[in-house]
Amino acid sequence: MTAGTATAEQAARGLLGRAPEVALCLDFDGTLSPVVDDPQAARPLQGIVELLGPLAERFAAVAIVSGRPAAYLGEHVAAPGVRYLGLYGLQELHEGQIQVDPRLEAARPAVSAAAAALRDSAAVRDSGAWLEDKEYSVAVHTRRVPDRDRWAEPVDRTARQIAEEHGLELIPGKLVWELRPPVPSDKGDAVRRVVAESGARAVVVVGDDLGDLPAFAAVAELAGQGHHEGLRVAVRSAEAPPQLIAGADLVLEGPQGVLDFLRLLAA
Ligand SMILES: [Mg+2]
């Protein structure tokens, strides 16, 4: 959509001119919501949620695309017309009903067994890492662990081992290790679905972490096919992966930068 790195104002101007054919795909943690020590306490930055309903009316689609369960997104980012794609697109909240990929349902016993093994492991127990039960996956968080740098390697090793034993895959993030069934889906799949189902001719993806790289790749792929245009927006934080910043067409400064950008789009 823009050559080189754009400013937020330039990008917003370009998008506003063709809003009805643009899909907006927004990550939650670190993008709409400031990263906090307790992941269950994460909430969108004040002012963001009320912009989303009007944006959903103006744009082809507004979708929250996150590794979080769709129900969490629907509860904390409640706005009319917004789509909630949780678990990297494997779950969607639609008209109050949760739709889940049946392959995830089948893997629930393995996820429960892995959660129990993690709970009993020395690395998790002794570090005080927090286990997040996400129903269809389990995540180990070390954000609140004292001396978390020292625990990174043992937690990583333990998480990898337990994932392998239970036939799960390991998705590392910023101070988090998620074990989930090897059902292929990433934010790129979710973005492709939103674009296809909304009939959008252009797509904007906004994210702050490694899990957003497949969404960036999907934007590039859609643009490469010649039928779509795309804008990859990285949200900068102290922990932002360098490859995400490097792959971005536009860089915003934290959730506050996202709020300002959404305000430009809603103006
Ligand atoms: Mg994020």
Q: Catalytic site residue 27?
A: yes
User: For residue 115, is pLDDT > 70?
Assistant: yes
Copy the structure tokens of residue 16: 């506003």
What's the CA-to-centroid distance between 91 and ligand 1, angstroms?
17
Mean pLDDT of 149-161: 94
Quick check: is 166 in a domain?
A: yes
In this prediction, residue 211 carries a pLDDT of: 93
Select from 148, 157, 112 the least CA-distant residue to 131. 112
What's the CA-to-centroid distance between 121 and ligand 1, angstroms?
27
In this prediction, residue 5 carries a pLDDT of: 62
The answer on 167 and 60 residing in a single domain is no
Select from 187, 158, 156 the least CA-distant residue to 174. 156
The answer on 153 and 25 residing in a single domain is no
In this prediction, residue 254 carries a pLDDT of: 97
What's the CA-to-centroid distance between 33 and ligand 1, angstroms?
8
Name the catalytic one among 27, 208, 212, 249: 27
User: For residue 29, is pLDDT > 60?
Assistant: yes
Domain count, the chain: 2
What's the CA-to-centroid distance between 80 and ligand 1, angstroms?
22
The answer on 79 and 38 residing in a single domain is yes
Asked if 59 and 23 touch (Cβ cutoff 8 Å), the reply is yes
What's the CA-to-centroid distance between 125 and ligand 1, angstroms?
26
* Measured distance CA(55)–CA(230) in Å, rounded: 17
The answer on 204 and 83 residing in a single domain is yes
Mean pLDDT of 127-139: 92
The answer on 190 and 94 residing in a single domain is yes
pLDDT one-digit tens code per residue, 165-215: 999 999 998 899 999 999 988 999 999 999 999 999 999 999 999 999 999
| DSSP for residue 19 | G
For 51, 61, 75, 132, 198, the CA distances from 79, given in Å and listed in that order, are 9, 13, 9, 26, 18
Query: Please, what is the average pLDDT of the chain?
Result: 93
What's the CA-to-centroid distance between 126 and ligand 1, angstroms?
27
Residue where a domain terminates, one of 120, 152, 180: 180
The answer on 163 and 113 residing in a single domain is yes
In this prediction, residue 101 carries a pLDDT of: 93
Domain CATH code at residue 122 = 3.30.70.1020
List the domain range (segments joined by +) for residue 113. Answer: 104-180
In this prediction, residue 2 carries a pLDDT of: 44
Quick check: is 144 in a domain?
A: yes
How much is the pTM? 0.81
In this prediction, residue 238 carries a pLDDT of: 87
What's the CA-to-centroid distance between 173 and ligand 1, angstroms?
9
Mean pLDDT of 31-56: 94
Share of the chain above pLDDT 70, in %: 98
What's the CA-to-centroid distance between 31 and ligand 1, angstroms?
6
What's the CA-to-centroid distance between 66 and ligand 1, angstroms?
7
Mean pLDDT of 47-54: 98
The answer on 257 and 163 residing in a single domain is no
Share of the chain above pLDDT 90, in %: 81
Burial per residue of 17-51, b for 16 or more beta-carbon CB atoms within 10 angstroms, e otherwise: eebebbbbbbbbbbbbbebeeebeebebbeebbeb
pLDDT one-digit tens code per residue, 217-266: 999 999 888 878 999 999 999 888 999 999 999 999 999 999 999 999 99
User: For residue 3, is pLDDT > 60?
Assistant: no
